[in-house]
Chain A
Amino acid sequence: MAIRRVLVANRGEIAVRIIRACRDVGIETVAVFSEADRDTLATQLADKAVCIGPVQAKHSYLNADALLVTALHTGCDALHPGYGFLAENAEFADECARNGIQFIGPRGDTMRGLGDKLPARETAERLGIPVVPGGTLDGSAASAGAVLKQIGLPLLVKASAGGGGRGLRRVDDSADLAGALAQSAAEADAAFGNPTLYVERYIERGRHIEVQIVGDRYGNVIHLFERDCTTQRRYQKLVEEAPSPVLDDAARKAITDSACRLARGMGYEGAGTVEFLFDLDTGEHYFIEMNTRLQVEHPVSELLTGLDLVRLQLLVASGEPLPVSQDEVTMSGHVIEFRVNCEDPGNGFLPAAGTVRRWRPPAGPWVRLDTHMEQGQAVPPYYDSLLAKLIVWGDTREQALERSRRCLAEFAVDGVPTTLPFHSWLVAQPDFIFSNLHTTWVDGNWKGARRP
């Protein structure tokens, strides 16, 4: 491989994952760490480790200059950003390129075209990929009538200029529309100085389904099928599985075709994920956004297909063509991943910190655990709360569930709260067992979803 030494610009389990993939193909690694992460698995496993700053992420893991000076002066020819931090920062990708460091991810201009939701939506529409029906309006009742006819009810009114729930309003009855638009426009104007509204069809029962793709610099794109990430709490994914229990072969082909068309249209290089909302009532899929990085839940696709996604990233970043064609990518069995976060699921999933006094992970056939934790390890309060990902494979979904129940019962962690009690409850719920849930199901059914 052309790449010989990689700077791993991340921490925690994903840093460990990247170091291992590099070691497997004979690439050396340089780990970087903040003062909070000196004694961690990634710094121990890497060929070299360099302290780049204090505990605050903005002075360490988000400090582009510190990462670049370290990469340049430790002889690295590539940099893997992992996920989060600078992984989707187009300027940083450009800065790496300018300094002769291969950024392991798509080019900066690709990220710019997909980074903001509105331009991404326009790109998708241009390429003929379905998006949630909707459009912008000025708040007048006249334009509202036309939009309503096009979108149908129920619909969602949003402020074009911002987020955070300001101006967000659901409309079920056409009689309420004019009033809702006026109120939302006033709120949007007050909050963002811009009364422009965006309305779109409200999908009552949706599943979050995303497609893993990888592209090389010769225009080849493959997909590794879908992941179903419907079990989430306020858009935070908790469990991911593949294949999706709600897709038939025709729907699977339609959604993976859409993802590959977008990636080809963008000349996408590297690993990425195209996210869709799948409407359970109509069977239609709608593009939401594209994540231009390796995702937390990538192991689900790895166990489903037998392909190593980080290895593929290293290959295409080295300028090699994809080693497999779409026909050679096959899926087998069923995979479920559980995110073990340092959060209190009984108290609104409030993030916690502390020291892990006991760490007894599960094991056994077809069980994978991606983690950086061990007994006595500190969980610092400064970063993302992910401690481990438990990934379980089964010949069928039923078998994967049986194995998951056994693993979750074996998994013992003391000293800090974790999401394990939530997962143990989830795998016993008929709605999860029979895949009858949708994206807001956890918020309505888990008693600890909100803070008391």
Chain B
Amino acid sequence: MPDMPPELRTISTAELAQIVRAFADSDLRELRLVVGDVDLLVSRNEQVDGAAPARPAAPAPAAASAPAPAPMTASAASAPSEASTADGSAPAVDRTGLVPVHSPAVGVFYRRPAPDKPPSVEVGSAVAVGDPVGTLEVMKMFTTVPSVVAGTIAEICVEDATLVEYQQVIMYLSPAAGA
């Protein structure tokens, strides 16, 4: 849209989500997009080839990570949403290098696979790709939430038996070397 005034040469969060989704569905290894103030870098490579974005604003190192628009939910959580407290409410914590695990649906998150079983993971637990890290219940339908990378659980962001939003960060993993 070349006829746009400079202050509006930007990308909406919805458009950003579409771009990330399109990237996830493509065979591309890396995509860099600069529109006005937005400098977006999405990459599947471990070593990011493209020039690093000038600002760390876009938490693009969704590297290796899921096809979901991960950075979006972490940074753009709506203000009145209590359910989003996991996201961005503790700016003091340095999560560099950590990989988020997102809720695949809106539902109730349980740390245990069953009431009489121990929690699937604790902070410090080692997990492989696909290992269960918790359970999600949507109207009596229970599904396992799998880990997206191999590594150790660095932080658990939601309380047991609470409502989580679609794509809300449930926990952070510290990826194993070479994962």
Q: State whether B82 touches A355 (Cβ < 8 A).
A: no
* Binary CB contact string for chain B from 61 to 98 against chain A (1 if under 8 A, 0 otherwise): 00000000100110010111111000000000000000
Q: Does A247 contact B (CB under 8 A)?
A: no
Closest chain-B Cβ to A352's Cβ sits at a distance in Å of 13
Q: State whether B76 touches A69 (Cβ < 8 A).
A: no
Known interface pairs A52-B166, A53-B106. Does A357 touch B69 (Cβ–Cβ under 8 Å)?
A: no
| In the complex, residue of chain A having the shortest beta-carbon distance to the beta carbon of B12 | A378
Q: State whether B108 touches A49 (Cβ < 8 A).
A: no
A378 to B162, CA, bound (A): 31
Main secondary structure of the interface of A (DSSP, over half): mixed
| In the complex, residue of chain B having the shortest beta-carbon distance to the beta carbon of A73 | B163
Report which of A35, A37, A60, A69 forms a contact with B107, defined as CB distance below 8 A: A69
Q: State whether B78 touches A35 (Cβ < 8 A).
A: no
Q: State whether B139 touches A65 (Cβ < 8 A).
A: yes
Q: Does A421 contact B (CB under 8 A)?
A: no
Closest chain-A Cβ to B1's Cβ sits at a distance in Å of 8
Q: State whether B138 touches A378 (Cβ < 8 A).
A: no
A361 to B108, CA, bound (A): 42
Report which of A37, A50, A65 forms a contact with B163, defined as CB distance below 8 A: A50
Query: Interface segment, A39-47, A393-401, A435-443?
Result: A39-47
Closest chain-B Cβ to A194's Cβ sits at a distance in Å of 37
A39 to B13, CA, bound (A): 8
Chain A residues whose CB sits within 8 angstroms of the CB of B69 once the complex forms? 35
Q: Does B116 contact A (CB under 8 A)?
A: no
Known interface pairs A38-B76, A65-B139. Does A378 touch B14 (Cβ–Cβ under 8 Å)?
A: yes
**What number of B residues sit within 8 Å (CB to CB) of A?**
33
Q: State whether A51 touches B8 (Cβ < 8 A).
A: no
Q: State whether A43 touches B78 (Cβ < 8 A).
A: yes
| In the complex, residue of chain B having the shortest beta-carbon distance to the beta carbon of A45 | B80
Known interface pairs A38-B13, A55-B14. Does A69 touch B106 (Cβ–Cβ under 8 Å)?
A: yes
Assign chain A's interface to a size class: 20 to 34
* Binary CB contact string for chain A from 174 to 214 against chain B (1 if under 8 A, 0 otherwise): 00000000000000000000000000000000000000000
Chain A residues whose CB sits within 8 angstroms of the CB of B38 once the complex forms? none
Closest chain-B Cβ to A35's Cβ sits at a distance in Å of 5
Q: Does B178 contact A (CB under 8 A)?
A: no
Q: State whether A48 touches B138 (Cβ < 8 A).
A: no
Chain B residues whose CB sits within 8 angstroms of the CB of A54 once the complex forms? 166
Q: Which of B8, B107, B166 has the most CB of A within 10 A?
A: B166
A388 to B150, CA, bound (A): 49
Chain A residues whose CB sits within 8 angstroms of the CB of B105 once the complex forms? 53, 66
Known interface pairs A52-B106, A53-B106. Does A39 touch B78 (Cβ–Cβ under 8 Å)?
A: yes
The A-contacting residues of B in range 1-22, CB under 8 angstroms, are 4-5, 8, 12-15, 17-18
Q: State whether B72 touches A35 (Cβ < 8 A).
A: yes
Known interface pairs A54-B166, A69-B163. Does A49 touch B81 (Cβ–Cβ under 8 Å)?
A: yes
| In the complex, residue of chain A having the shortest beta-carbon distance to the beta carbon of B107 | A69
Chain B residues whose CB sits within 8 angstroms of the CB of A52 once the complex forms? 106, 165-166
Closest chain-A Cβ to B170's Cβ sits at a distance in Å of 14
Q: Does A36 contact B (CB under 8 A)?
A: yes
A404 to B137, CA, bound (A): 51
Closest chain-B Cβ to A56's Cβ sits at a distance in Å of 11
Inter-chain contact total with CB atoms closer than 8 Å: 89
A54 to B24, CA, bound (A): 15
Report which of B17, B137, B138 forms a contact with A35, defined as CB distance below 8 A: B17
Q: Does A70 contact B (CB under 8 A)?
A: yes
A204 to B101, CA, bound (A): 62
* Binary CB contact string for chain A from 48 to 81 against chain B (1 if under 8 A, 0 otherwise): 1111111100001000011011100110000000
| In the complex, residue of chain A having the shortest beta-carbon distance to the beta carbon of B72 | A35
A369 to B76, CA, bound (A): 29
| In the complex, residue of chain A having the shortest beta-carbon distance to the beta carbon of B167 | A51
Q: State whether B139 touches A49 (Cβ < 8 A).
A: no
Q: State whether A69 touches B108 (Cβ < 8 A).
A: yes
Q: Does A380 contact B (CB under 8 A)?
A: yes
A151 to B13, CA, bound (A): 57
A60 to B73, CA, bound (A): 16
Chain B residues whose CB sits within 8 angstroms of the CB of A376 once the complex forms? 8
Chain B residues whose CB sits within 8 angstroms of the CB of A69 once the complex forms? 106-108, 137-139, 163
A46 to B69, CA, bound (A): 25
| In the complex, residue of chain A having the shortest beta-carbon distance to the beta carbon of B139 | A65
Closest chain-A Cβ to B65's Cβ sits at a distance in Å of 17
| In the complex, residue of chain B having the shortest beta-carbon distance to the beta carbon of A32 | B106
Closest chain-B Cβ to A47's Cβ sits at a distance in Å of 7
Chain B residues whose CB sits within 8 angstroms of the CB of A33 once the complex forms? 78
Known interface pairs A52-B166, A66-B105, A357-B5. Does A378 touch B80 (Cβ–Cβ under 8 Å)?
A: no
Known interface pairs A35-B69, A39-B76, A39-B78. Does A51 touch B166 (Cβ–Cβ under 8 Å)?
A: yes
Closest chain-B Cβ to A330's Cβ sits at a distance in Å of 39
Chain A residues whose CB sits within 8 angstroms of the CB of B79 once the complex forms? 44
Chain B residues whose CB sits within 8 angstroms of the CB of A357 once the complex forms? 4-5, 8
A–B Cβ pairs within 8 angstroms, 8 of them: A33-B78, A35-B72, A39-B76, A44-B80, A48-B81, A51-B167, A69-B108, A378-B14
Closest 8 CB pairs of A and B: A73-B163, A51-B165, A378-B12, A65-B139, A36-B14, A52-B106, A51-B166, A49-B81
B residues whose Cβ falls under 8 Å from a Cβ of A: 4-5, 8, 12-15, 17-18, 69, 72-73, 76, 78-83, 105-108, 137-139, 141, 162-163, 165-168
A residues whose Cβ falls under 8 Å from a Cβ of B: 33, 35-39, 43-44, 46-55, 60, 65-66, 68-70, 73-74, 355, 357, 376, 378, 380
Starting from the known contacts A48-B83, A54-B166, 9 additional A-B residue pairs (CB-CB under 8 Å) come to A44-B79, A46-B80, A50-B163, A51-B81, A52-B165, A52-B166, A53-B106, A66-B107, A73-B162
